[in-house]
Amino acid sequence: MCGIFGYVTSNEEALGPILIAAAERLTYRGYDSVGAATINRGKIDLRKDVGKVDAVAAKYNIAEMRGQRGITQLRWATFGEPSQVNSQPHLDSMGDMVGAHNGNVVNNVELREQFMAEGMTVRSQNDGETCVHAVERYISRGYQFIDAIRLAYGDLQGDYTFVIGRADDDKLYAFKKGSGMVVGLGAGFTCVSSDLPSILPLTRSVIRPHDGEIVTLWADHVEVRSVKDGKLIDRQPELVTETMDAVQKGGYPHFMLKEIHEQAQVARELLHLLDGSSDVQPLIEKMKSARHLYFIGCGTSYHAAMAGAVYFAQLAGRAVIPILAPQFIAQYAPAVGYEDVGIFVSQSGETKDVLNALEAAEVRGMTCFGLANVVGSTLTKATSFCLPLCCGYEISVPATKTFTNQVVTFLYLAYRMAGKNTSDLARIPELMEQTIEMVAPQIEKIAQDINEWNDMYCLGYGATYPIALEGALKLKEITYAHCEGMLSTEFKHGPLSAVSKGFPIVFIAGPNDVPLIISGINEVKVRGARTIVVAEDDPRLRANGDDLVVIPNSDPHTYALLAVLPLQLLSYHMSVMRGFDPDFPRNLSKTLTVD
């Protein structure tokens, strides 16, 4: 989840300090490289590299940069590994334009090939450069700048925000499609950014452009136009009153709650990327021909792997072995070989247990692929290729959006292996938004009711079994209560003895599993348990359970993914009610790099 910032003033100024400060205010979004460009007296000064803001700024003396216009960018790698050449901003072929983006252009590979065939100078693998060349293509054909942007917008598929300027112009231009963009108006300057924190110390007068809009920024005013027809749009500025801390958290009290609400958008971006990825079909072919197929991960990533294994069996008729990374070394690594394929799953790409398993598999010759959120991490470099999760920076230690995008990826791959139409999955982000809206008030009330309990169970079956494990893990991580996730049919084989009056037990019920879940509900209810059921609306469940948390009707596979959202919210509210910080639970780290 990159961050961009552009600044326009009428006089030559020391823009370096302004750009550095703006970049530092966006570091919470996560990044691997940073760059800055200024335009001064018809010349572009570009300085960028891999590293932290302060280190790159010191190495290239960014503080000395001067000009009338400036752009800075923090890059979170998706296309092209973290490197100096892939860092942003980027130049056009002749060095007359400079631009930077936030987001993902999913047809990046195809467009780069087109641009090279047209004779353009393409220097990197990065899709930020693709945005620059997309505008350059139409400028070189004689179009005016606004019209070139409108045409480029139609060529660039995905979710992004982009800012661009040229040496012989006194303006910056920005356009938005799916990613965040905010415009600021100050005394003698205007600015644009992917997020409010880089703007607020400069001005609190802002305009929020919509998707499909182009903003032209002069030093003293801005214009908003429609991409569709180029016509002017009357968009009045508003006054922002929130504190910087509240803005960084998107107005939410904690990053975890913000990231729960971001899940629909990152899922939407991921689906766009997978649709445009040239890596997906080769991966599918390798998995189809594998003797044995393994999904390897730890913690939350293992739960996603378990869900993926269910999807592959149900949709594609392909057996998959999901396995915890350390156990893979003991149980399977000695027996694997060249005919086998493994997908190694890690949010950070640096999880030591997963890397140990990868090393053991590679020694035996197994074909190894990755699924990670951090491009340029050890896992992405060590595997044949690694699909990115496109979640941006996840600040809260408990994984939420990285888990759901792992599950979405496995569901997408299962669809592809089965030959099903993946456009059916386009509903998932909207269903996720509906789910959160539907369940939020009820979940907060249930959290109040059961918060006194320090022991509980979360039960599922089939595709919801890994969801039950993930929900239980979230409760353990941030409420410090003991919640055990189990297969619902296993509860009678021992744990039933723990049930007492009011004992909370959460059931996640799939639409095809209702009769089985009803048996489980009554098994514990007659012994005094408080039964909380997460499911699509069903009169049978209403009649048998104490609380029915209704999620939207979807399909036999998507419902499991939707069911994790109420469990995330339940753990969040219980943590806050207990006076804990859900973003930073005790004893835990976001990236586990020890055995």
Q: DSSP for 264-332? A: HHHHHHHHHHHHH-SSHHHHHHHHHH-SSEEEEE-HHHHHHHHHHHHHHHHHH----EEEEHHHHHHHT
Structure tokens at 495: 């744990």
Q: Give the separation between CA 495 and CA 61, rounded to whole angstroms.
A: 64
Structure tokens at 43: 């010349």
- Which DSSP letter does residue 78 get? S
Per-residue model confidence (pLDDT) at position 5: 97
Angle at 409 between CA 404 and CA 411, to 5 degrees: 95
| Chain position carrying tokens 């990533």 | 301
Q: Is 590 a catalytic residue?
A: yes
Cβ(439)–Cβ(276) under 8 Å? no
User: For the chain, how big is the Rg over CA atoms in Å?
Assistant: 25
Residue 446 sits at the vertex; the CA angle it makes with 441 and 447, to the nearest 5 degrees, is: 95
pLDDT of residue 1: 59
Closest by CA to 99, choosing from 82, 124, 63, is 124
Write out the two tokens for 89.
């901003």
Instruction: Provide the residue ranges of all domains of the chain, joining segments of one domain with +.
Output: 3-248, 252-420, 430-582
Q: What is the pLDDT of residue 595?
A: 58
**How many Cβ atoms are within 10 Å of 228's Cβ, its own excluded?**
11
Structural contact between residues 49 and 87, judged by C-beta atoms closer than 8 angstroms: yes
Cα 270 to Cα 114, 180, 315, 379, 497, distances in angstroms:
24, 16, 20, 19, 44
Q: Looking at 2, 191, 368, 390, which residue is catalytic?
A: 2
CB of 307 closer than 8 Å to CB of 560: yes
Structure confidence at residue 231 (pLDDT): 94
Q: Which amino acid is at 478?
A: I
Considering Cα of 4, then 9, then 12, then 18, what sign does the dihedral take? negative
Half-sphere exposure of 572 (CA within 13 A, CB side): 26
CA 535, CA 553: separation in Å to the nearest integer? 9
CATH of 252-420, one of 3.40.50.720, 3.40.50.10490, 3.30.43.10, 3.50.50.60: 3.40.50.10490
Q: Report pLDDT digits (tens) over 538-550.
A: 999 999 999 999 9
Identify the pLDDT of residue 592: 60
How do residues 457-503 score in pLDDT, each as one tens digit?
999 999 999 999 999 999 999 999 999 999 999 988 988 888 899 99
> What residues in the chain have per-residue pLDDT under 50?
none
Domain at 3-248, CATH from 3.40.50.970, 3.40.225.10, 3.30.530.20, 3.60.20.10? 3.60.20.10
| C-beta of residue 491 within 8 angstroms of C-beta of residue 522 | no
> What pLDDT does residue 328 have?
97
Phi, psi of 593, rounded to the nearest 5 degrees: -110, 20
DSSP 3-state of 502: coil
Q: What is the pLDDT of residue 385?
A: 86
CA gap 142, 126 in Å, rounded: 26
In DSSP notation, 372-417 reads ESSTTSHHHHHSS-EEE-------SSS-SHHHHHHHHHHHHHHHHH
Whole-structure pTM value = 0.83
Architecture of domain 430-582: 3-Layer(aba) Sandwich (3.40)
Q: Comparing 252-420 with 430-582, is the CATH topology the same?
A: yes
Distance CA(102)–CA(284), nearest Å, equals 29
| Cβ atoms of 482 and 454 closer than 8 Å | yes
**Residue-level pLDDT at 553:** 96
Q: Which of 286, 476, 525, 590 is catalytic?
A: 590
Calpha distance 547→532 (Å, rounded): 5
How many CA atoms lie within 13 Å of 463's alpha carbon, on the beta-carbon side? 26
